[in-house]
Structures are given as C-alpha cells and as structure tokens.
A and B are shown apart, each in its own frame.
Chain A
C-alpha cells in the first residue's frame, strides 16, 4: 500500500469521525455538556447500543489487534485463555452494575473515586484512588499510543515514522474529547467499533482462505508449531505467568475507572443490560479474530523478529487487499484513540472532582469542569512522552497497569458487600497495594516466585480487611449508602 493511500484514508476517517462527533452534541435544553455529569457522563442518558459499542471500543484498544495477535504469535493458544478469563470477568458488571448505577443516580456521583470517597466518608480515599489511577493509566495510555506508532511504522515500512503515528493519535484523542465530552467520545467509539469488527473479521476470513482454510491452518500449526496449540506451549504461558496476567484482567471491569465510570451512564438498567450483552458478543468475536490473526501470522510468517510485527506483517501481506488493509490499519489507530480519549476524560474528571475540588472546597461545578478540560491535554502529553520512550513488548506494560489498579478492587467490593469496611482500610489498601506493585515492578516482578499480578489482589485484600477490622466504620454514610441501593433497585422492580 502506498503512503498517499494511507494519508487519504486517514483524512476520510477524520472527516467522518468529526462529523459524527459534532452531530453527537446535545442541545443545552436537553442538558447539554455544560455540567460535570453532562460533560463526563452524557447526563446519565446513554442508550444501550451506543454504550455497548463504546464500552467495547474503550476496552479493546490497539492492544487487541496488535498485542493479542502478537501474544498468540509468541505464546500460542494461552493468549486466548488469557483473554477469555478477562472476558468472563466482565460478568462482574452483571453483579455490580446495578449497584453502581443506583448510587450514581441517588447521590449524583460523577466518578468511581467520588463514590468510594462518599461511601467511606473520606476525601482522602477519593484522592488516593484518583491519583493511583493516574499513575497506572497514563502508562497504559502510552502503551496504546506506542501501538499506533509501531503499526503505522511497520505497515508503511517506515514511511510514516513511529513519532508521527504517536503524535497523530494524541492530537485526534484530544480533539474527540473536546467536541462534546463523553458524548462525542462514545459516538466516535461506536463508529470505530462497527468499522473494526466488520473489517477485522473480513481480514481473518481472507487470510484463513489464503492459507487453505481453517482446517489447513490448524494442520500447519499442529505439524510445524504443535506447542502453539497447548499451554504452557512455547514457554510464554507457564501457569504462574498465566495467573499473573489473568488475575488483574479478571477484575478489569471494576478496577479500571474508564470502564467502571460507564456504569453510571446508562439511561436505565435495560440499557445497562444491552451494554453488557452487546459488549460480550462483540468482545467474543473480536477475541477469536485477534487470536486467529496471530495463528495465521505464525503459520505464514514463522520467523518475524518481533511478535508485535505479526499484525502489521499480516495486513501488508498478499492475502489482504490493500484497501482492506488500510481500513483495518485506520481502525486500529482509531481503537487506540478510542481507548485513550476515554481514559483521558475519566482521569480528568477524577482529578478535577476528587483532587482539585477536595483540596479547594466550595468550587463551583463550572470551575470543576474548566479544570477538567484543562487536565485532558496535560494527561495526553504525559502519555505521549511515555510512548516516545518506546518500551518493548506492548502487552506486558499494559498488564503492569492492571496489576496496580487491582488495588481498588477490595475497597469497591467492600463498598457494596461489607458494612464493616472503613476509610482507613480502603486507604491502606489503595496506597499500600499501589506502592507494593510499583516496588515489585522496580525489583524484577517476582516475590517467592510469584508476580505482582498474583500478589496484588492478596495484598490489597489483606490490607483492606485487616485495617478495617482495627478501625471503626462511619455508620451513618454506610447505612445511607446501603439504603439508597435497596430503595433505588426496589423502585425499579415495582415500576
């Protein structure tokens, strides 16, 4: 494919996406985006279909098509198992979703950290969760940007450089969040998700046809790379590594604020159900397709120098018509953008709502929103700087982020299921676990032979329960929180 084809395609994509973003704006009469919940939550009026597509686009980033295909290429079928366990973890939405939604509605929460701060009656909890989220999610965004960089560079043979790709994605992400906040982000996400699922499935189909069909592909793998069809397989997925990768991702739907914040947005529980089920169907197809890409690359190009090149090599191969290759490439770039812009918005809402407004009391909503809008590009530029450092295997770094975010999980579960949980417990768990995970990664990520991904949830749970038991819960806010859930959900059941 030629460089001009690529640039023209990017231009067309931008034109369509910007059009959609502008159309997504809501008139001030309907709530508009002039308030915190308007800008960051779409006024809690998002419908199920857009929510499902956007949830998928936010979750599945460049990591899927570049990272998961690469992980399959390097480590075999274990990559599928890893993703399926993550996928099963999204079922947590079926349990926690309605509860998040109910308290969000009752108390007007904008961020998950605000919810925790309220539940445990502690500003410090809200601040700690927000700051820890920034520490882990900014590198995670950087991973997405780097994904775009590798992809464009790989597929154009260096005609578009790594840096050009990274800067391009950053600028687009900032732009999409600025047009109408979460609404423009969700609508452009939806465009990306639809385009991507169609194009990537088509690519998998064409490539597998080119390799002689599904049976022939798996026969080739069985004879030439038999280990790629089993675990531990070629060595990447020892059971301990598998545990370390999967445990944090299992809790992704709770631990990552850019997706847990989505639980505040659906207009009804019916919409939430559509969001969950839509995501699951989408995610399943996407997962299988990405894994098949990795397998196809392994069968067709067994001696690539880096596993991250599996996807670009496949897209540039003779199996894929150039136009389709370009569409998927743009789709992958858009996938990275759709993940980053959601993360930027969520982090910005947390910084303004839970850090700024808590440090400086009595600031107006308007002022909070202004600060939030100012923070968006700051976060983007930090991610850009990280991406430029060009760290090695994409998937591994993004998993470091998940290990760290597991720090929030016991405090979140406790908020809904354990009245005895206290602010001190939540604070110790969040701060202690974050520090612990960072220390683990700084010192080789192995303690008694186990990685941070396994230890994180253990340390977080012990700290939360242990410290809670020796301190006293704030009875009034705890009771109000539990009563609100019961009342909101009962009201729904009767209506």
Chain B
C-alpha cells in the first residue's frame, strides 16, 4: 500500500512538472542564448555592448556583439551549436591565418576574437557569461 502511494506521488510530481513546463512555455518566450549572453555581460560584468561590423561574426546564427574587457576589445559570436561555432573559427583562420596565439577561442557555441591575446582574467570574464 505504501509503495503504491509512493509511486502515485512520483507520478503526480512528474505530471505537475510537465504541466508547469507546458503552461510556462505557452505564456513565456525563452530569451535564448544570445540574449542571455548579452544580459550577463551588461548586468554581471558592467560591459558596454556594440554591434560588430565583422561580417564573419555577423554570420553567427544567434547573433554577435562587441565589447571591451579590461581594455581588450573582443567580438563575441553566438552560434547555434558547437559545430557551427567551429565553422566560424575555421572561417576566421582562413581569412587571417597568422592570428596570434590567444586571440581566437571557441568555447561551446561561443567564439571570441580578441584584439590582443587575452589574459586569464579577461577570458574568465567571458567564460562566466557562457550560455
């Protein structure tokens, strides 16, 4: 009897989670990874954002943004998945094969192109805003 009640309780919890998710999805738009990255940079890092002119960055599916972290400028491309981000990296490498070590980095679906080789603290600032 007690196990049956336990199983029913788990079923009720699972059902309420599914209903809650369904209701939330209907009434709420997911801001998406790009908005989350931008919000984090502005709110958590106090960054000022600009629209990049870099055509490769602009080709990223979810969007791109440019900012400055500890005096080092950086263009951030947000791809839909790591494979697309890898394609952006490959394009950068094709058009600028002599990029210095530490200027171009991919992390998950994000690609960072720094104006100068990034320091560990500069990199960490962006890693904190990875979605």
Determine if chain A interacts with chain B: no
Query: B residues bordering A, Cβ < 8 Å?
Result: none
